[in-house]
Structure 1
Amino acid sequence: MIRVLLADDEAMIRAGVRAILGTAEDIEVVAEAADGREAVDLALKHRPDVCLLDIRMPRLDGLQAAAELHKAAPGTAVAMLTTFSEDEYIASALGSGAAGFLLKSGNPRELIAGVQAVAEGGAYLSPSIARRVISRLGAGQLGKQAAARARAEELTAREREVLALVGAGLSNAEIAGRLHVVEGTVKAYVSQVLARLGFKNRVQAAILAYEAGLVGEE
């Protein structure tokens, strides 16, 4: 069972998200918070698998809460839940250690898929967000490809293979199946890749995989 903490300062939004998540047999909302500070406190108390954080909240916003949780509760995955899709929010959320970015206006199936993905150690961007990121990589940021390739070349062949599969959005279990190894081995490789690249989370690694042109090579 995936245990979720939901944080949003609007009670109606919390009720709606809870109702959607309640349709999934493998998800349970174990706590709710109305602001970021309460979300951090409850997360440290309940130790959920996933924290769904609204970006704009009182006392402590979602980005600040995500940064605190990344340090204090590294075993809890964080996904941002927002109505905003501006690029600066995406960059800030990823920099805060978030593994997912979900739009409140998205399809309910995306919400469930996103929670399941980050709970399994994967990364998830709502499709509209993913298109924005990928389009930016292809329209003006392709000059970064050489630098990204150089960074990727610092990895071993197996680490680059894992990086490519992370970029394709696969969870640890899916990568293990693809490479015919145990999941613990994949977790170790992912940790090595993040450490060597200096990244906080899989989303940042996935973006580098796109920039380096690794996705589709696995």
Structure 2
Amino acid sequence: MAAPCVTIVSADTLLAAALSTLLCEKGVFDVSAAKSFEDVTAGNPDRPSAVVYDLSGAGPLDPGPIAAFTSGGRKAPVIVLTTSESFDVVPALLDAGVRGIVGRDADADEFVTAVTEVAGGRIFVSRGMMDLLVAHVARCPVDRAAAHLQDAESLAPRERDIVRLLSTGMTNREIAAALHVSEGTVKTHLGRVMVKWSVRDRLQVVLRAIGRLHVTPADPGGGAEGSEAPR
């Protein structure tokens, strides 16, 4: 696959320069910078691309500019950098069409992985933001009995094992190692789960599974890679 074209959208020129340098050091990325979405130029339709939008110094969340960009016929998916520690930003950003969310605790490798995954057509939510999501759903006072029974019985034992591990923040590679199967087998089982549950991606699998399959939220101090979806 061709190297992705990446545009950093940030009012902070120093941050934009630092992120550009990081991406270039980590791989063969074609990186440019823009002050706003209006300044983002059309990329090559034959190459994967992504836009990294810096929300770290933007104050209260305003998903309007993101939604306008993602719904305006542009092909480039958006990855957001945010310093927010509130769960509320996650559904707001996803509703605005964001395909990647990277929190303030992400390291360089996780950021580069987010760009690569999203440019490749997948969704990525960093470990820190996934922890917020898991904690929020775990606290929600909902009636789970009927949904738990229906969801649990719809999955084969191996599918349930994979969903549980996925919901604790593991990547496909980590799940495969834990269950002593190939990554291809993990992807096949996840595909079947998505069909059975009528969901589009790994993130929606996690949202549906948390609290319904007695999943234990991921340890915030764990050492696994970011919780990306899908892969």
- Normalised TM-score (structure 1): 0.66
Cα gap change, 1:124 to 1:206, in 2 (>3 Å): same
Query: Highest Rg: 1 or 2?
Result: 2
Could you say what secondary structure the match of 2:43 adopts? Answer: helix
- Normalised TM-score (structure 2): 0.63
Where do 5+ consecutive residues of structure 1 fail to align?
Answer: none
- Counting only pairs closer than 5 Å after superposition, residues 91-106 of structure 1 correspond to structure 2 as 91-95=91-95, 98=98, 100-103=100-103, 106=104
C-alpha contact 2:176 2:186 (8 A) present in aligned 1:
yes
Shift of 1:43: 7.1
Shift of 1:171: 1.9
Deviations 1:29-74 (A, max 9, x none): 54555554776942744214x6534468xxx8334555789xx97x
Equivalent position of 2:21 in the other structure? 19
C-alpha contact 2:127 2:169 (8 A) present in aligned 1:
no
Give the distance between the partners of 2:211 and 2:115, measured in 1 at CA.
Answer: 22
Equivalent position of 2:227 in the other structure? none
Shift of 1:205: 1.7
**1:112 maps to which of 97, 109, 125:** 109
Cα gap change, 1:177 to 1:132, in 2 (>3 Å): closer
**1:61 maps to which of 36, 61, 65:** 65
- Counting only pairs closer than 5 Å after superposition, residues 1-218 of structure 1 correspond to structure 2 as 3=4, 5-10=6-11, 12=13, 13-22=15-24, 25-26=26-27, 28=29, 30-32=31-33, 34-36=35-37, 41-42=42-43, 44-48=45-49, 51-54=51-54, 61-63=65-67, 65=69, 79-84=79-84, 86-95=86-95, 98=98, 100-103=100-103, 106-107=104-105, 109=107, 111-116=108-113, 119=116, 123-127=124-128, 129-139=129-139, 141-146=140-145, 148-149=147-148, 150-216=150-216
Shift of 1:168: 1.9
Could you say what secondary structure the match of 1:181 adopts? Answer: coil
Shift of 1:159: 1.9
C-alpha contact 2:5 2:29 (8 A) present in aligned 1:
yes
Where do 5+ consecutive residues of structure 2 fail to align?
Answer: 59-63, 218-231
Shift of 1:131: 4.1
Deviations 1:168-203 (A, max 9, x none): 222222222223333223222222222332323322
Could you say what secondary structure the match of 2:170 adopts? Answer: coil
Please tell me the residue identity of whatever aligns with 2:169.
Answer: G
Give the distance between the partners of 2:100 and 2:138, measured in 1 at CA.
Answer: 21
Give the distance between the partners of 1:8 and 1:91, measured in 2 at CA.
Answer: 21
Instruction: Please give the root-mean-square deviation of Cα atoms over the aligned residues, in Å.
Output: 4.1
Please tell me the residue identity of whatever aligns with 1:113.
Answer: E
Shift of 1:95: 4.3
Identity of aligned residues (%): 22
